[in-house]
């Protein structure tokens, strides 16, 4: 079979994130017990076990490789596009950015990816609340993991993983001084959450609020483009 050809296994049996097998095994064990108690409970357990498997899926993605492209760090929907100051935890409170927020529901793949090639200059974990990640104040109040990225293009970006109403653990797999390519995995969040990308001044988002994102694939901005921010409408 030619390399790169997609088969039914890629859709039905995607690879799992390392955190997944333990949770799937736990769900399967509980399902077995429920089935012994009462079979209808077992049927519900089967459904939840299947959901757990797909929640922890970690499929490969085809990332555009042209320098300067900013790629979505998460699967989900563009929740908000806001002009704001940078994360104060990264000493960016006096710098204006355009923040693109991607919300992940409990049905989205939760593996997060680097939006642009560069070096992680600083990483800061901030404890906090577990408010609904769709709220704007979640960027300042919720538990989060902040990354300061010096992009290969010379610009400074910030990436923030934000825990949500159901999420109770942020996993960040990168460290300060680590260099990553666009689309490389940086961690994940359990279960239902948000990732913010802070675009530096002069780089406009090429996506609209409500647009569906695919982590590692969807282009959200272009550091080499002079195009103004795009607008979209439901059709």
Of all helices (H) and strands (E), which one includes residue 11?
A: helix 8-12
Q: Is the model more confident about 130 or about 17?
A: 17
**Size (the chain), residues:** 235
Q: Dig out the tokens for 127 from the structure.
A: 């404890």
Q: What are phi and psi of 115, to 5 degrees?
A: -75, -25
CB 200 within 8 A of CB 157: yes
Catalytic residue list: 193
Residue 227 in domain: no
> 190 with 81, same domain?
yes
Of all helices (H) and strands (E), which one includes residue 9?
A: helix 8-12
Predicted local confidence at residue 2, as pLDDT: 44
Residue 51 in domain: yes
Give the domain extent around 45. Answer: 8-55
Q: Dig out the tokens for 29 from the structure.
A: 């064990």
Assess whether pLDDT exceeds 70 at residue 188. Answer: yes
Residue 2 in domain: no
CB atoms within 10 A of CB 163: 26
> 43 with 110, same domain?
no
Which whole number is the average pLDDT over 165-184? 87
pTM over 0.75: yes
pLDDT tens per residue, range 146-165: 999 999 999 999 999 998 77
Query: Coil, strand or helix: which one is 53?
Result: helix
> 21 with 113, same domain?
no
* The three-state (H, E, C) secondary structure of 55-120, written as one string: HCECCCCCCCCCCCEEECCCCEEEEEEEEEECCHHHCCCCCEEEEEEEEECCCCCCEEECCCCEEE
Pairing mode of beta strands 169-172, 219-222? unpaired
> 98 with 192, same domain?
yes
Preceding omega of 191 cis (within 30 degrees of 0): yes
> 25 with 85, same domain?
no
Residue 176 in domain: yes
pLDDT tens per residue, range 197-233: 999 999 999 999 999 999 999 999 999 888 888 888 8
For the chain, how many structural domains are there in total? 2
Written as one string, the DSSP assignment of 152-211 is TTS-EEEEEEEE-SS--EEEE---TT-EE-TT-EEEEEESSEEEEEEEETT--BSS-TT-
> 81 with 195, same domain?
yes
> 85 with 195, same domain?
yes
pLDDT tens per residue, range 105-147: 889 999 999 999 999 999 999 987 777 777 777 777 888 999 9
């Amino acid at each position: 079979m030619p390399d790169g050809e997609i088969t039914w296994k890629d859709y039905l049996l995607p690879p799992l994130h390392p955190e997944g097998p333990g949770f799937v095994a736990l769900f399967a064990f509980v399902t077995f017990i429920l089935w012994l108690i009462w079979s209808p409970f077992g049927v519900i357990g089967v459904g939840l076990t299947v959901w757990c498997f797909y929640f922890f899926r970690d499929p490969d993605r085809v990332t555009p490789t042209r320098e300067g492209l900013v790629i979505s760090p998460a699967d989900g929907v563009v929740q908000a596009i806001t002009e704001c100051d940078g994360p104060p935890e990264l000493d960016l409170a006096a710098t204006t950015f355009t923040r693109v927020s991607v919300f992940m529901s409990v049905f989205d793949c939760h593996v997060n990816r680097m939006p642009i090639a560069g070096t992680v200059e600083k990483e800061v974990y901030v404890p906090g609340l577990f408010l609904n990640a769709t709220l704007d104040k979640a960027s300042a109040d919720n538990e989060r993991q902040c990354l300061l990225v010096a992009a290969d293009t010379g610009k400074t970006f910030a990436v923030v993983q934000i825990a949500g109403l159901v999420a109770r653990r942020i996993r960040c797999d990168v460290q300060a001084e680590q260099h990553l390519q666009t689309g490389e995995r940086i961690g994940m969040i359990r279960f239902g959450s948000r990732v913010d990308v802070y675009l530096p001044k002069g780089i406009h988002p090429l996506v609209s609020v409500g647009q569906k994102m695919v982590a590692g694939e969807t282009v959200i901005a272009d550091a080499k483009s002079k195009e103004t921010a795009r607008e979209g409408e439901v059709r």
